[in-house]
Structure 1
Amino acid sequence: MTVPLNDVFKAIADPTRREILRLLRHEEMSAGDVAARFDMTKPTMSHHFAVLKAAGLITSRREGQTIWYALNTTVLEDVLAWTLDLAQGAKGDSR
């Protein structure tokens, strides 16, 4: 995994960021559309987007003045694979 797991876990530890991921699971959304769902300042929303991007959980693209965000399922799949591997290892270690 190219993104440290600590960054991913830090990102998903926050309920606002989990809600942002939930919103993006079906479609790409503009920053404004996502922000409209929350009662937060633009700098606070920008911080949440930055943490999610740093963890590799979302991607962004600029179209004119609009920034579009999308879920990056690759990182989520890596985390799920790591979790399943950990769980299977724990089952195999029982004595």
Structure 2
Amino acid sequence: MTDFYRAISDPIRRRTLTLVSHKELTQSELVANFSISQPALKKHLAILIEENLITERRDGRYCFYRLKREVFYDHYQKLQHELGSILENKLVKLKDYLEEDNNGESH
């Protein structure tokens, strides 16, 4: 099971996901978008690959990276559901609190 939160927790990885969501890019093309070294970016790419969010395709001496849209979309849907559940729970608790307060109960 992937750890989507780990993968998106870092701004460099989030930006990388955005870049490879538009088109397939080489590692050099990705590095040009950041102020970090190629080895540092490679570590971020390794995490994204490990978490199954991007694919790596080798062509000669070049590596090309692209977003695995279906996997990313599934995780995005799960994240929306989790956040929705959290917010729904908080709103229900707030509603209950306000209704109790309006009925003259003190806290």
- TM-score tier by shorter-chain length is 0.7 to 0.9
- 1:30 equivalent in structure 2: 26
- 1:17 equivalent in structure 2: 13
Provide the C-alpha distance between the structure 1 equivalents of 2:76 and 2:60, rounded to a whole number of angstroms: 35
Which is helix-richer, 1 or 2?
2
Provide the C-alpha distance between the structure 2 equivalents of 1:8 and 1:91, rounded to a whole number of angstroms: 22
Moved more, 22-31 or 71-80: 71-80
Alpha-carbon offset, residue 79 of structure 1 = 1.2
Task: Give the aligned CA root-mean-square deviation in angstroms.
Answer: 2.0
Kindly indicate whether the alpha-carbon contact (under 8 Å) linking 2:28 and 2:38 is maintained by their aligned counterparts in 1. no
- 1:73 and 2:69 equivalent? yes
Q: Normalising by the residue count of structure 1, what TM-score does the alignment of the two structures yield?
A: 0.82
Runs of 4+ residues deviating >3 angstroms: 88-92
Runs of 5+ consecutive residues of structure 1 not aligned to the other structure = none
Higher relative contact order (CA 8 A, sep 6+): 1
Runs of 5+ consecutive residues of structure 2 not aligned to the other structure = 97-107
- 1:63 and 2:59 equivalent? yes
State the one-letter code of the partner of 2:15: E
Q: Normalising by the residue count of structure 2, what TM-score does the alignment of the two structures yield?
A: 0.73
> How many residues get paired?
91
The structure that has the greater radius of gyration is 2
2:22 is paired with a residue whose SS is coil
2:23 is paired with a residue whose SS is coil
State the one-letter code of the partner of 1:18: R
